[in-house]
Amino acid sequence: MQVRLNEPQCAALGLFRMALSEATAADRLSAIEVMRHEVVSMGLDSFPITEASSPQFVRWAATTAPPRYEAAHAFHEIAQRYESKNERHLNIAEFIGKKVWDSIQARRFQGLQVAGGLLEQTSDYARDMGVRGAKDLDVLRKIWKRYRGVVHLGMAMDYVEEHPEMRAHVLHLAERIRLGLSTNCPKGTNASYVDPQAQISFLYVSDR
C-alpha cells in the first residue's frame, strides 16, 4: 500500500513513524490519518490567522474542527501506546532491519531463523548490551513479523540523522530500503526478506 505525504507532513515524519508503531496494518492506516490531522493542527497553531485576514480559511478550519478534535483524542491514545511499549518494539524491529540490510549490502544474504542467523545475532547483542525485550528469540520473531513491513522509514530516518546532508532525500532512501528488503531473499530460499504486500510505501507529493 502507498501513503502520499505533502511537504508539511514530510517535515513531521516522526509522527508518521509513531503511527507505524501500531500493531496491525489497519491500525497503522487509521493512525496515519490521525497524524495528518495532527500536522494540520500544528500548522493552525503556528499561524495568527483571523476572520478578517482570511475568512475562507477560518470557515474551513471551523468546519473541519470536529474530526480534528476526535483525532486529538486518538493521537493521545496512540502516543500512550507508543511510549509504553510500541516504540521499544519498533526500535528492535528496525535494528533487525538494519542487520538484514547490511547482509544484503555485503551480499551475504544471511537468514533470520537459522542457527547463528540474524535474529540470534540480535539476541546475542541484546544480551551483551542489556537491551530489555530483545533477548528471547520467540519474542524477536513476533516483533519482526509484526513490524517488518514498516521498518524502512525509521531506518532511513536514522541514517539521515547521521548524514544530515541527505535529509531532503529521506523518503527516497526509505523506498530504496523497502525495495531491497522485498526483492532480496535469504541464501538458499526464494522468499523475500519482507513480503511486499505487507509493506507501506511512502511517496512525497507536492501540493502545488
Instruction: Calculate what percentage of the chain has a pLDDT beyond 90.
Output: 69
CA distance 198 to 187: 21
Average pLDDT over residues 176-197: 96
Number of domains making up the chain: 1
CA distance 113 to 106: 19
User: What do you get for the CA distance between the two ends of the chain, in Å?
Assistant: 24
Which of 62-76, 115-129, 141-155, 160-174 reaches the highest mean pLDDT?
Answer: 141-155
Instruction: Calculate what percentage of the chain has a pLDDT beyond 70.
Output: 90
CA distance 173 to 158: 11
pTM: 0.88
Residue 64 domain boundaries: 2-204
